[in-house]
Amino acid sequence: MELLQPLDDEQLNRVYSPILSPLAWDLGHIANFEELWLVQTIGGREPLHGELGHFYDAIENPRKTRGELPILRDAELRSYLADVRERTLEVLEEVDLGADAADPLLKEGFVYEMLLAHELQHNETMLQLLQLVDGYEPVGVNLGPTAQLQGAESEMVAIEAGAHEIGAPARGFAYDNERPRHSVELAAFEIDRTPVSNGTYIQFMEETGAEPPLYWERDGGGWALTERGGRDPVDPAHPVLHVSCHEADTFARWAGKRLPTEQEWEAARPRLQHVGQAWEWTSSDFIPYPGFEAFPYREYSEVFFGDAYKVLRGGSWATHHSVMRPSFRNWDLPQRRQIFAGIRCARDA
Ligand SMILES: [Fe+2]
């Protein structure tokens, strides 16, 4: 709500891009997801708005259609958010979230963790859209990356060949696609200690004629960032953001390297610097780990498995720290550039 406080109802309802939902949809969807899992499934209550939930189903309603849906708006939307949260807190009083809870949704508070994570992940999606809102300035939130990458960029970390444990441990909150934890054999490899900077990306663009990242525009002899209607010079020391997986891959080849696999990324994670500035594209397709079991619903991960999506690891400046588990697997279409994604390269040792 703090993020959206500077906006009026017209801005909340406006469709800024066919690949991003209007903010009012995200808000209603966050509340509806909470209502569905906690208030209805766990609390056994009837839905507050009957069949309305269908319009907030992310699978049934692709992003390009969401502006047209008869969703809740304005004052009605705000009171729905408040009503759901009130009921959620009521249900919380009634349930046992202990380690012995019989319902796997309740055991160790899974369903609450899932809803918190869901809301936090939607904050990032909303920030993707907020980059398109001219003059948007949030209160009390810093936007954009902060890392200074000068100097360290050419360093690589060597990881020895051997077995590495990949995935989330059996206990503690994680999504189904992060489990089960399993061992993989990796050949020796090297991986960049830091993400790729804007300065190095500019060098790559100049040498190859590659397109600039999303939101970059020519500004005299240099480049300017145009997010939120701004025109700030590109900081060469910041990590590059808003490149597609294809562009990340082309960059890596130009640098004499390649993108890491997600297993390599996870194995090297404790040795890497500046994780959490930009999501990092990997060369891995989003596929299930051996022994995968869908939980608590197929539509979270399973329906996305296959070769259409590439895995991203780490997190961006817009990602809440609790979402940035080492085992967390983000996924998106390889041509996408609106996400806060950058590059870290690897190579065979
Ligand atoms: Fe969602």
pLDDT at 154: 82
Centre of ligand 1 from the C-alpha of residue 30, in Å: 7
**Span 291-307, mean pLDDT?**
94
* Start-end of H helices in 169-222: 198-208
pLDDT at 332: 97
Higher pLDDT, 51 or 216: 216
Centre of ligand 1 from the C-alpha of residue 201, in Å: 32
Centre of ligand 1 from the C-alpha of residue 25, in Å: 10
Tokens of 68: 């047209």
Q: Which helix (H) or strand (E) holds 264?
A: helix 262-268
**Residue 14 — pLDDT band, cuts 50, 70, 90?**
very high
199-209 confidence digits (pLDDT tens): 999 999 999 99
Q: How far apart are CA 37 and CA 223, in angstroms?
A: 46
pLDDT at 139: 83
Rounded to two decimals, the pTM is 0.96
Centre of ligand 1 from the C-alpha of residue 211, in Å: 31
**Residue 151 — pLDDT band, cuts 50, 70, 90?**
confident
Q: Is 192 helix (H, G, I), strand (E, B) or coil?
A: strand
Centre of ligand 1 from the C-alpha of residue 157, in Å: 36
Tokens of 185: 């054999």
Centre of ligand 1 from the C-alpha of residue 111, in Å: 14
Q: Is 302 helix (H, G, I), strand (E, B) or coil?
A: helix
**Residue 326 — pLDDT band, cuts 50, 70, 90?**
very high
pLDDT at 273: 95
181-204 confidence digits (pLDDT tens): 999 999 999 999 999 999 999 999
Centre of ligand 1 from the C-alpha of residue 118, in Å: 6
